[in-house]
Amino acid sequence: MDLLSEIRHGFANLDQSGRMLPIEALPGSCPAWVFREGGIFGVAIELHADISLSEGFAGAHLRTVERLVEGQVRRFLRLESSTEWLRNEFGIICEHMVATGKGNESRQELIGDPLSWWERWRHLLGNALVNRSSYDTLAELLAIEKLVNQGLNFEWRGPFGGAVDIHTAAAGYEVKSTISRYDTRIHVSGQFQLALSSGKPLNLLHYRFEPSASGDSIDAVCKRLINAGVSKKLLEDALLRCGLETGCSARKESFNVLEALLFHVNADFPRITPDSFLAGVLPAGVVHVEYQVDLSGLTHQPF
Reduce the DSSP state of residue 115 to 3 states and report it.
helix
Q: Kindly state whether residues 176 and 202 are assigned to the same domain.
A: yes
| Pairwise CA distance, residues 213 & 140, whole Å | 20
Chain centre to alpha carbon of residue 113: 20
Residue-level pLDDT at 198:
65
Half-sphere exposure of 209 (CA within 13 A, CB side): 26
Give yes or no for a contact between 208 and 181, defined as CB atoms under 8 angstroms apart.
yes
Q: Kindly state whether residues 292 and 153 are assigned to the same domain.
A: yes
Give the model's confidence band at 177: pLDDT under 50 very low, under 70 low, under 90 confident, else very high: very high
Q: Point out the domain boundary residue: 128, 159, 182.
A: 128
Give yes or no for a contact between 76 and 47, defined as CB atoms under 8 angstroms apart.
yes
Q: Kindly state whether residues 223 and 250 are assigned to the same domain.
A: yes
Q: Kindly state whether residues 245 and 100 are assigned to the same domain.
A: no
| Pairwise CA distance, residues 74 & 64, whole Å | 10
| Pairwise CA distance, residues 79 & 73, whole Å | 19
DSSP class of residue 275?
G
98 or 132, which is more confident:
98
| Pairwise CA distance, residues 59 & 8, whole Å | 16
Q: Residue 287: pLDDT above 80?
A: no
Please state the rounded mean pLDDT for residues 122-130.
57
Residue-level pLDDT at 206:
97
Q: Residue 122: pLDDT above 90?
A: no
Q: Kindly state whether residues 100 and 168 are assigned to the same domain.
A: no
Residue-level pLDDT at 196:
67
51 Cβ contact list (under 8 Å, min separation 6): 64, 75, 77, 114
Nearest one of 226, 227, 219, 222 to 247, comparing CA atoms: 219
Give yes or no for a contact between 78 and 42, defined as CB atoms under 8 angstroms apart.
yes
| Pairwise CA distance, residues 194 & 187, whole Å | 11
Q: Kindly state whether residues 139 and 124 are assigned to the same domain.
A: no
DSSP class of residue 49?
S
Q: Kindly state whether residues 231 and 280 are assigned to the same domain.
A: yes
Q: Kindly state whether residues 92 and 31 are assigned to the same domain.
A: yes
Q: Kindly state whether residues 80 and 223 are assigned to the same domain.
A: no
Chain centre to alpha carbon of residue 76: 21
Q: Residue 129: pLDDT above 60?
A: no
Q: Point out the domain boundary residue: 112, 128, 144.
A: 128
The H or E element containing residue 48 is none
Q: Kindly state whether residues 105 and 153 are assigned to the same domain.
A: no
Identify the domain containing residue 73 by its residue range.
3-128
Structurally, the chain folds into a number of domains equal to: 2
Q: Kindly state whether residues 211 and 68 are assigned to the same domain.
A: no
Q: What is the pLDDT of residues 66-102, one digit of tens each?
A: 988 878 889 999 999 988 888 888 899 999 999 988 8
Overall pTM surpassing 0.85 (yes/no)? no
Q: Point out the domain boundary residue: 128, 161, 177.
A: 128
Residue-level pLDDT at 284:
83
Q: Kindly state whether residues 148 and 115 are assigned to the same domain.
A: no
